Amino acid sequence: MWAPMSELYGRRLPILISGLGFSIFAIGVATAANLQTILICRFFGGLFGSCPLAVVGAIFADMYVICHNTRAKVTL
């Protein structure tokens, strides 16, 4: 979800949205009154927290392709 969004809108917007969402759900975990709230907030916090991994991974892949002037080849 995050990597295609970064290709369409740039990398800044998905990182800002995910940072805000991760912060909100982290506060939700800190103020949770029961286990169900903790589990739901941790799930959505992980969903929003995965954006930097997807977007930064794309940056490193782009740098590799640019530096080596080759496309990534899949070998089986």
- In the chain, how many domains are there? 1
- Exposure string of 3-38, with b = 16+ CB inside 10 Å and e = fewer, is bebbeeeebeebbeebeebbeebeebeeeeeeeeee
Per-residue model confidence (pLDDT) at position 56? 74
Domain assignment present for 25:
yes
- Return the pLDDT at 32: 94
Q: Please spell the DSSP secondary structure of 5-25, one letter per residue.
A: HHHHH-SHHHHHHHHHHHHHH
Q: Which domain holds residue 54?
A: 2-68
Residue 73 lies in a domain: no
The per-residue pLDDT for 53 is 79
Is the predicted pLDDT of residue 4 greater than 90, yes or no?
no
Per-residue model confidence as pLDDT tens digits over 23-73: 999 999 999 999 999 999 999 999 999 888 777 765 555 555 555 555 555
Lowest mean pLDDT among 4-8, 14-18, 27-31, 70-74: 70-74
